[in-house]
A and B are shown apart, each in its own frame.
Chain A
Amino acid sequence: MKHSLKSYLSPFWLLPLLLVIVMFVSVLQGGFSFSPRDLMGELSAPQALVLWEIRLPRILLAAVVGAGLAISGVALQALFRNPLAEPGLIGVSSSAALGAVFVIVLGRVLWQEVAVWQISVAAFLMASFSTALLYLIATRHGHTDVALMLLAGVAFNAIFGALTQLLITFSDDAQLRSALFWMMGSLANLSWFSVGLVSAFVLIATLALWRLVKPMNAFLLGENVSLQMGYEPKWFKWQVMGLSALIVGVSVSMVGVIGFVGLVVPHIIRLWVGADHRLVLPLSALGGAILLVLADLLARQLLYPAELPIGLLMALLGGPFFLMMLLSKRYARLKNLSSVQGKGF
């Protein structure tokens, strides 16, 4: 692989360039639009307020959350050895939302005001729990049953979603925001502090996952094979579960559930550069950032002055993509593979 890294250098400048362009366009566009010349010259007070307190944090948040969700998709796909594992599809995101809502409601009773970090911790814990539980359900003797994974995800989404709605229905807490927020996500109205918090954790988790790219590659060949190649899978699995849950938990606690980023982006990146995690991990981060900044721009502009929930837009884009993946020949082979393995051992 060492030499082919060189030949794949192109996406490493293409994607950052694209990200810069998309972010720049996104800064200009909106209810309060700027021309590039505005940005060069002196801004009026309201312009500066919109730019610094609304537009910029929102776009940076979209980029960071997009990168994080794409990376957590990559990590979960390595863990389940399947390209269809995605935090939204398999119920990890909705469990994080439940954790967040639960601590807001509980905190209101116990200690009045709930801090942002407490919500994030609760979301992270629930995300870890549901990832571990799903892994126990869908993976036996080191083999993942793909159908079981997806179906258990459907059940998880139903259960966690219902509990979240139940809590919201019986609570009138202002901090809870709306049920729509938790199910559809929103990048609006977040402070620089939130942006910093999400960025810090996504960065930490990404760097930690970067250390694991080699065992992640080996793990794709099978749990026993990764052991034969010298990587002990036990500790590795806990790390991958924890780190992807960290990203999902922190993201969901800030912006609600935004699905399909972790499915669409790694898939496209793999079609482009192959499955080596040394390429897939950083490029998916860039791709996820581009996708979510773009989706946020669309969400703000399409029905202006109304704003589409970003999660809704991602579902509209990602749902058909997911169906396409299910029907593609590439995946047909995959299904055969998993049914053969089901009989094995």
Chain B
Amino acid sequence: MSVLPSIQVQKLTVQRGGVGLLNQVTCQFEAGKIHCILGQNGAGKSTLLNGLSHEIQPSQGQIIWHGKPLDSFSYAELATQRAVLSQSNELAFSFTVEALVSLGEEVQSRPQTASEQVIQTVLDVCEMTHLKDRDYLTLSGGEQKRAQLARVLAQIWPTKACTETQEEGGDFLGKWLLLDEWTAGLDIKHQQSLARYFKQWAKQGLGIIMVLHDISFAAQLADHALILKSGKVFAEGDIQSVFTEAILSQSLEMKVRVEQDALTGQPIIYPIL
């Protein structure tokens, strides 16, 4: 059996202006799984995500990407393997939604018919097809988020189009999606429909790493959780092993009740006021 691609974070330490943002963080992310990074504000979630996307240089430690140090990849190489949706996006110029998405698509050099197909597919997935000719600047916050997500997806979309019937196609194998609070601004309907897509793509090999605040949502969506506290790893593991009342209440300093879903065995999280 071949080893699935993975990302290993080894004793990652990040300091900025004398402040330690991450302290000796060691963890691992695997292809085909949905990983969720949790933690309080300032715990270092976004910093870890920025480290994974190679946007910041660690002070110490390293990241092993598919068996090689992350430093050994060029940004152009990385761009074809992973796409990143940041928390805030700035765009002051009038791009149509379709033109914006094509900026992401162009990172791959596909034949023209394939690029058009990819753009159409990701627009459909994000339910932005009816808005594809709209000026990005005139969209609502949630629509802008979906447009950006479509751009991000187009960047790593497998050229071989996947259909819903392919369960174990592995089309996304070796591709990674890094999402920083992607649910912010999105209505529940789109959160759910995209979450279903994420689960489907993960089955096809996509590695997804997301920063989330909504632990109830994370419990349903993610396979694996990493909880950071003050720049250190507080807990890491399967959702079932990490999402316990003791761990959540200590790490996130919240009142919570955890039950097990009788049908799926998944934890159900009830935050208590």
Interface residues of A (CB under 8 A from B): 1-4, 81-83, 143, 214, 217-218, 220-222, 224-225, 227-232, 270-271, 274-276, 330, 333-334, 337-338, 340-341, 344
* 0/1 string, B172-198, CB within 8 A of A gives 1: 000000000000000000000000000
- B residues within 8 A CB of A341? 88, 90
Task: Determine the distance from Cα of A344 to Cα of B76 in the docked complex, in whole angstroms.
Answer: 27
From the candidates A3, A83, A230, name the one contacting B107 in the complex (CB within 8 A): A230
- A residues within 8 A CB of B112? 2-3
Task: Determine the distance from Cα of A314 to Cα of B137 in the docked complex, in whole angstroms.
Answer: 30
Supposing A231-B75, A232-B75 touch, asked if A274 and B96 sit within 8 A by C-beta, the answer is yes
Interface check B70, CB cutoff 8 A: no
Q: Are A230 and B106 in contact (CB under 8 A)?
A: no
Q: Are B75 and A230 in contact (CB under 8 A)?
A: yes
Interface check B80, CB cutoff 8 A: yes
Q: Beyond A217-B103, A276-B95, A334-B92, list 11 extra A-B contacts (CB 8 Å).
A: A1-B106, A2-B115, A3-B112, A3-B116, A83-B93, A221-B90, A227-B75, A230-B75, A230-B78, A270-B93, A330-B137
Could you tell me the distance in whole angstroms from the C-beta of A226 to the nearest C-beta in chain B?
9
Supposing A3-B112, A214-B106, A224-B55 touch, asked if A275 and B79 sit within 8 A by C-beta, the answer is no
Closest A residue to B92 using CB positions: A334
Between-chain CB contacts (< 8 Å), 26 pairs = A1-B106, A81-B90, A81-B93, A83-B92, A83-B93, A220-B95, A221-B89, A221-B90, A222-B89, A225-B89, A227-B53, A228-B86, A229-B79, A229-B104, A230-B74, A230-B77, A270-B93, A271-B94, A274-B99, A275-B94, A275-B95, A276-B95, A333-B137, A334-B137, A338-B92, A341-B90
- B residues within 8 A CB of A270? 93-94
Interface check B223, CB cutoff 8 A: no
- B residues within 8 A CB of A1? 98-99, 102-103, 106
Closest A residue to B81 using CB positions: A230
Q: Are B80 and A337 in contact (CB under 8 A)?
A: no
Give residues of chain B (85-131) contacting chain A, Cβ–Cβ below 8 Å. 86, 88-96, 98-99, 102-104, 106-107, 112, 115-116
Could you tell me the distance in whole angstroms from the C-beta of B160 to the nearest C-beta in chain A?
19
Task: Determine the distance from Cα of A3 to Cα of B95 in the docked complex, in whole angstroms.
Answer: 15
Task: Determine the distance from Cα of A225 to Cα of B89 in the docked complex, in whole angstroms.
Answer: 8
For B93, B96, B103, which residue has the most chain A Cβ atoms within 10 angstroms?
A: B93
Q: Are A229 and B89 in contact (CB under 8 A)?
A: no
Supposing A1-B102, A228-B79, A276-B99 touch, asked if A221 and B88 sit within 8 A by C-beta, the answer is no
In the A-B complex, the 5 residue pairs with the closest CB atoms: A230-B79, A275-B93, A230-B76, A1-B102, A228-B84
- B residues within 8 A CB of A274? 94-96, 99
Q: How large is the interface on B (under 10, 10 to 19, 20 to 34, 35 or more residues)?
A: 35 or more
Supposing A4-B98, A228-B84 touch, asked if A337 and B90 sit within 8 A by C-beta, the answer is yes
Q: Are B90 and A222 in contact (CB under 8 A)?
A: yes
* 0/1 string, B181-219, CB within 8 A of A gives 1: 000000000000000000000000000000000000000
Task: Determine the distance from Cα of A225 to Cα of B96 in the docked complex, in whole angstroms.
Answer: 18
- A residues within 8 A CB of B75? 227, 230-232
Task: Determine the distance from Cα of A222 to Cα of B87 in the docked complex, in whole angstroms.
Answer: 12
- B residues within 8 A CB of A143? 90
Supposing A230-B80, A270-B93, A275-B95 touch, asked if A221 and B103 sit within 8 A by C-beta, the answer is yes
Task: Determine the distance from Cα of A136 to Cα of B104 in the docked complex, in whole angstroms.
Answer: 28
Could you tell me the distance in whole angstroms from the C-beta of A280 to the nearest C-beta in chain B?
9
Supposing A230-B75, A330-B137 touch, asked if A337 and B94 sit within 8 A by C-beta, the answer is no
- A residues within 8 A CB of B103? 1, 217-218, 221, 229
From the candidates A217, A222, A333, name the one contacting B86 in the complex (CB within 8 A): A222
Closest A residue to B136 using CB positions: A275
Q: Are A227 and B106 in contact (CB under 8 A)?
A: no
- B residues within 8 A CB of A220? 91-93, 95
- B residues within 8 A CB of A334? 92, 137
Closest A residue to B91 using CB positions: A221
- A residues within 8 A CB of B74? 230
Closest B residue to A220 using CB positions: B93
Could you tell me the distance in whole angstroms from the C-beta of A150 to the nearest C-beta in chain B?
14
Closest A residue to B102 using CB positions: A1
Supposing A4-B98, A217-B103, A276-B95 touch, asked if A229 and B137 sit within 8 A by C-beta, the answer is no
Could you tell me the distance in whole angstroms from the C-beta of A7 to the nearest C-beta in chain B?
11
Task: Determine the distance from Cα of A227 to Cα of B115 in the docked complex, in whole angstroms.
Answer: 21
Q: Are A229 and B95 in contact (CB under 8 A)?
A: no
Task: Determine the distance from Cα of A82 to Cα of B94 in the docked complex, in whole angstroms.
Answer: 11
